[in-house]
Amino acid sequence: MERDTRGHGGFVDEARIHVRGGDGGAGSAAFRREAHVPKGGPAGGDGGKGGDVVLEADPGLSTLLEYAYKRHFRAMRGTHGKGAHRDGAVGEDLVLRVPVGTIVRDDETGDVIADLSVPGQRVVVARGGRGGRGNTHFVTPTRRAPTFAELGEPGEERWITLELKLLADAALVGLPSVGKSSIIARISAARPKIADYPFTTLVPNLGVVDAGERSFVVADVPGLIEGASEGAGLGHGFLRHIERSALILHVVDLSGGYEGRDPVADIGVIDRELAAHASELAKRPQVVVGNKVDLPESRENAARVATWCDQAGRPFFAVSAATGEGIQEMVRAVAERVHELREQAAVVPAEPPAVFVYEPPSERVVEVVQEAPGEYRVRGGRIERMVIMTDMQNDEAVAYLQRRLQRAGVEEALRNAGARPGDTVHIGPVSFEFEIPSDDRGTDGEDDG
């Protein structure tokens, strides 16, 4: 079942979209037409390349909401070549902007195409098709006036999944209703919905905390429950937002809540869920924040949690989001700790490439599959493009294609698979009758392209 990412106050952290590059324009099979030159040479221009679909990390965005409503995106196609050596225009790229922190995956394979963690970083997720070559490219010593040109190549297309991981310095985690939203409202300008019932927070909230000379970004991650790492409750979809945070602020309810829970035991619950989601999270620096210390029953629990944290080597702060008790001391300490962690992690990053192009696994591999007795299908991106870009109504173009396929090893692969003359061969949308060509190896200077 596809996850519903609409609503939730306008925050969307996952989307599935279809992208397609623009088709390439067709080459032209034209000849010079000049006075007193009845049969001029070939003069067909090349078709224009189709536009690419590009994703760009935009620091001004914080949600994937736009992609929850529109799911299909296609770049502009290239225009056809013309006579007099006039090439077609290149199709305009389609640039789709996404928030910084977006993970891009190939929907079919699950492979990560890109991690757009740097503002301005770009990735081409669907390349535009090549423009077809005009007939001027097919002149050889034995073919002085070629009557054919290439058709344009279709643009790449694929379904991709976008996953947003928030870029926060510190992440507030804890069981439902421990007061995380109240804390972020107290320490920053964020104004999340606050109520005294489980799962009030349905989406992560980001807030900028000003601690004098230092400031940091904090994320209020929805409450986790036991089993969250396995998909229980609301936690599964939000655990990934913690992965980029330098520091975890582990919030516990010192009062025990309505159920009289043990705050020390609650720390263990969340620790286990973090470790189950990603083992590295278990080693992430933590600060334990005991909330609701203003309530009478919280003082004894605060002492117990403080003792446990001292033994575990974790800083502990008893605070009250309601009254502000202990808040400033906690904020200053967290700001300093975040600064230290960022300094430790600071390295001079390599300059990211202006545009990274996603290339699927090698397309030069030729695969032959027998689909039925006497019927074979040839697979391979490069081979299929050759066929798609050939004008099958032009005998000269078809003969040229046959020599290219032979040089690419298709004939040999079919023979090895058991194909015999007269069998049907499918390549892309076209079907052929397999026949053994004469010993013409096409050594007339033709380019396989």
CB 323 within 8 A of CB 291: no
Q: Is the pLDDT of residue 203 over 80?
A: no
Q: Tell me which of 28-42, 73-87, 380-394 is least confident.
A: 28-42
Strand-strand pairing, 430-433 and 424-427: antiparallel
Q: Is the pLDDT of residue 46 over 90?
A: yes
What pLDDT is attached to residue 279? Answer: 74
Of residues 311 and 215, the one with the higher pLDDT is 311
What pLDDT is attached to residue 223? Answer: 55
What pLDDT is attached to residue 368? Answer: 93
DSSP H or E run through 218? strand 214-220
The backbone region for 250, taken as left when phi is positive above 0, alpha when psi lies in -120 to 50, beta otherwise, is beta
Structure token digits, residue 222: 């929805």
**Residue range(s) occupied by CATH 3.30.300.350 in the chain:** 363-433
**Residue range(s) occupied by CATH 2.70.210.12 in the chain:** 8-164
Q: In this structure, which CATH number among 3.40.1050.10, 3.40.50.300, 3.30.300.350, 3.30.365.10 belongs to the domain 363-433?
A: 3.30.300.350
Concatenating the DSSP letter of every residue in 76-95 gives PPPPPPBTTTBPPPPPPPEE
Spatial neighbors of 368 by CB under 8 A, at least 6 apart, are: 376, 377, 378, 379, 413, 414, 416, 417, 419
CB 302 within 8 A of CB 291: no
The phi and psi torsions of 293 (rounded to 5 degrees) equal -70, -15
CATH fold group of domain 8-164: Spo0b-associated Gtp-binding Protein; Chain: A, (2.70.210)
Structure token digits, residue 99: 């928030």
Structure token digits, residue 421: 């003359």
What pLDDT is attached to residue 37? Answer: 60
Highest mean pLDDT, choosing among 207-211, 220-224, 344-348, 440-444? 207-211
Helix orientation angle between 263-277 and 298-312, rounded to the nearest 10 degrees: 40
The phi and psi torsions of 273 (rounded to 5 degrees) equal -70, -40
Name the one residue in this structure whose structure tokens are 């050596």.
85
What pLDDT is attached to residue 154? Answer: 94
∠ CA 51-65-250 to the nearest 5 degrees?
125
What pLDDT is attached to residue 350? Answer: 52
Q: Is the pLDDT of residue 13 over 70?
A: yes
Q: In this structure, which CATH number among 3.40.50.300, 3.40.190.10, 3.30.413.10, 1.10.3720.10 belongs to the domain 170-345?
A: 3.40.50.300
Q: Mind listing the pLDDT tens digit for each residue in 385-426?
A: 999 999 999 999 999 998 999 898 999 999 999 999 999 999
DSSP H or E run through 393? none
Q: Rounded to whole angstroms, how far apart are CA atoms 75 and 184? A: 42
Q: Is the pLDDT of residue 11 over 70?
A: no
Helix (H, G, I), strand (E, B) or coil at 338: helix
Strand-strand pairing, 375-379 and 424-427: parallel
What pLDDT is attached to residue 86? Answer: 95
Q: Mind listing the pLDDT tens digit for each residue in 151-174?
A: 999 999 999 999 987 777 898 888
Helix (H, G, I), strand (E, B) or coil at 102: strand
CB 361 within 8 A of CB 379: no
Q: Mind listing the pLDDT tens digit for each residue in 171-197?
A: 888 888 788 888 988 888 655 443 333
Average pLDDT, the chain: 83
Structure token digits, residue 122: 């770009």
Of residues 361 and 150, the one with the higher pLDDT is 150
